[in-house]
Structure 1
Amino acid sequence: MKFLFLYTASVLLSAVAVWASSVTLTEPEPNQVWETGSTVHIKWKVNDPKAAKKIRLQYASGPSQALVINGLIADRVNGSSGSYSWKIPKDLKPKKYVIEAGPSAKDLSFAGRLSTIPLEAVWALKLEFFSPPNVVL
Structure 2
Amino acid sequence: MTSLPLHTMRRRYLALAAVLVLALLPSTGLAGQPQHASAAQRAVFASFTQPLPGMTVKAGAPFMVIWNGGTAAERVLNLMQGDPGALQVVQNISMTVDGASGQYAWNVPVDLPAGKYALALGQAPTVIYTGLFDVTGHDTQQTVNNAKTPSQR
Task: Using structure 1 for the length normalisation, give the TM-score.
Answer: 0.68
The one of 58, 61, 74 aligned to 1:54: 74
Distance 1:112 1:80, change over 3 A: same
- Coordinate RMSD, CA, aligned: 3.0
Q: Which amino acid aligns with 1:115?
A: D
Q: Which one has a bigger Cα radius of gyration?
A: 2
Give the 4+ runs in structure 1 shifted more than 3 A.
none
Q: Which amino acid aligns with 2:76?
A: R
Task: Please state whether the residue corresponding to 1:115 is helix, strand or coil.
Answer: strand
Matching of residues 98-137 of structure 1 within 5 Å: 98-102=118-122, 104-120=123-139
Structure with more strand by fraction? 1
The one of 40, 44, 47 aligned to 1:22: 44
The one of 92, 100, 105 aligned to 1:80: 100
Task: Using structure 2 for the length normalisation, give the TM-score.
Answer: 0.62
- Once the two structures are TM-superposed, the CA of residue 87 in structure 1 deviates from its matched residue by 0.7
- Once the two structures are TM-superposed, the CA of residue 35 in structure 1 deviates from its matched residue by 0.9
Distance 1:59 1:21, change over 3 A: farther
Taking CA–CA contacts closer than 8 Å with sequence separation of 6 or more, which of the two structures ends up with the larger relative contact order?
Answer: 1
Distance 1:121 1:112, change over 3 A: farther
CA distance in 2 between partners of 1:21 and 1:118 (Å)? 34
Distance 1:108 1:122, change over 3 A: farther
Please tell me whether the aligned partners of residues 59 and 70 of structure 1 are also in contact (alpha carbons under 8 angstroms). yes
* Ranges in structure 2 where 5+ consecutive residues have no aligned partner: 1-14, 24-36, 143-153
Q: Which amino acid aligns with 1:95?
A: G
Q: How many residue pairs align between the two structures?
A: 112
Please tell me whether the aligned partners of residues 25 and 101 of structure 1 are also in contact (alpha carbons under 8 angstroms). no
Task: Please state whether the residue corresponding to 1:80 is helix, strand or coil.
Answer: helix
Please tell me whether the aligned partners of residues 42 and 125 of structure 2 are also in contact (alpha carbons under 8 angstroms). no
Distance 1:69 1:21, change over 3 A: farther
The one of 62, 65, 75 aligned to 1:42: 65
Question: How high is the sequence identity, in percent, across the aligned residues?
Answer: 25
Task: Please state whether the residue corresponding to 2:139 is helix, strand or coil.
Answer: helix
